[in-house]
């Protein structure tokens, strides 16, 4: 297969999945890999896997991918969730108190 310029077509070994926006590769996984894999690397029908943090960092450093910013742990995100909903509850309690004051003032 050739490109429009007549050069041999070389498939990309690293790409961004159009459905999930995650970066994937068909390179074999490194030792201890615990990411998402599709298929088996030894299988001729196709294989892909997510990138490791080091691989994604290399793509960002090369300007091929945007940095995702700092990684947030589940504990940090749970704490953020709790703060968010607590602030809504305190706002609601404050609004209820304001209504009670207004009703007393009208009576």
Q: What is the pLDDT of residue 42?
A: 82
Q: What is the pLDDT of residue 104?
A: 57
For residues 13 and 28, the answer to whether their CB atoms sit within 8 Å is no
Report the DSSP beta bridge partners of residue 15: 24
In order, the DSSP letters of 35-78 are S-EEE-TT-TT-EEEEPPHHHHHHHHHTTSS----SPPPHHHHH
d(CA 53, CA 69): 12
- Domain ranges, ordered by start, for the chain: 1-69, 72-107
Q: What is the pLDDT of residue 95?
A: 63
Angle, alpha carbons 88-106-97 (nearest 5°): 20
Tens-digit pLDDT string for the chain (107 aa): 556 776 665 668 999 998 988 999 999 999 999 999 998 888 777 899 999 999 998 988 888 888 765 667 889 889 999 999 999 888 777 666 555 545 555 55
Q: What is the dihedral of CA 26, 32, 36, 41, to 10 degrees?
A: 30
Q: What is the pLDDT of residue 6?
A: 66
Q: What is the pLDDT of residue 78?
A: 92
With 0.75 as the threshold, say if the pTM is over it.
Answer: no
Specify the 3-state DSSP secondary structure of 14: strand
Give me the residue label for tokens 């050739």: 2
Q: What is the pLDDT of residue 47?
A: 92
């Amino acid at each position: 297969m050739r490109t429009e310029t007549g050069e041999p077509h070389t498939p990309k070994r690293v790409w961004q999945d159009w459905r999930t926006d995650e970066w994937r590769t068909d390179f074999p996984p490194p030792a201890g890999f615990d990411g998402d894999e599709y298929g088996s690397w030894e299988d001729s029908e196709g294989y892909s896997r997510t990138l490791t943090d080091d691989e994604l960092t290399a793509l960002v450093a090369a300007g091929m991918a945007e940095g995702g910013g700092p990684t947030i742990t589940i504990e940090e995100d749970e704490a953020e969730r709790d703060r968010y909903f607590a602030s809504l509850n305190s706002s609601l309690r404050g609004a209820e108190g304001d209504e009670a004051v207004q009703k007393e003032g009208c009576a």
